[in-house]
Amino acid sequence: MTEQPQPLPVLPCPNCGENILRKGFYNSCTETQSLREDNFASVLKDCLYIDHTEDGYEMIDHECDIDAYCRSCDKLLPWPLYEIRGLDGVFLAGIDKAIATLIEEAQGKLPDA
């Protein structure tokens, strides 16, 4: 027996009304990477040239900004990234309550509230 796909819950963007769980949201991150540069020299037409190749990229640090933006309208969402991602793993039986709590908290943050 195959499991039937269920519709996504609705968490509307307060700016444009799109469901950010369906349309998506984004944030930016800052990363520090390390890589190896292999340097080599060559002579061409009486000139010395030094070049390099790069490989072995390794992430040293990764930090996500807490601001989240709606993919539909590119406007800042009232919820920090960790609050939206906090919905991850919530049972669908309790998702409406969790989303209602986020919306209520956001109403206190909006200028029109």
Instruction: Dump pLDDT digits (tens) for 13-65.
Output: 999 999 999 999 999 999 999 999 999 999 999 999 999 999 988 999 999 99
Structural contact between residues 5 and 47, judged by C-beta atoms closer than 8 angstroms: no
Same domain, yes or no, for 14 and 40?
no
Same domain, yes or no, for 59 and 69?
no
Return the pLDDT at 108: 77
Among positive and negative, which fits the CA dihedral 92, 97, 100, 102? negative
- For residues 62-74, average pLDDT: 96
Same domain, yes or no, for 103 and 58?
no
113 domain-assigned = no
Domain that holds residue 99: 9-28+65-108
Same domain, yes or no, for 103 and 71?
yes
Same domain, yes or no, for 70 and 103?
yes
Which amino acid, residue 45? K
Same domain, yes or no, for 100 and 48?
no
57 domain-assigned = yes
Return the pLDDT at 4: 77
Return the pLDDT at 113: 42
Distance set, CA 110 to CA 15, 16, 36, 96, 113 (Å): 10, 14, 48, 21, 6
Q: What is the dihedral of CA 14, 74, 89, 87, to 10 degrees?
A: -30
Domain total in the chain: 2
Same domain, yes or no, for 24 and 35?
no
36 domain-assigned = yes
| Averaged pLDDT of the chain | 91
Of the chain, the end-to-end C-alpha distance in Å amounts to: 48
70 domain-assigned = yes
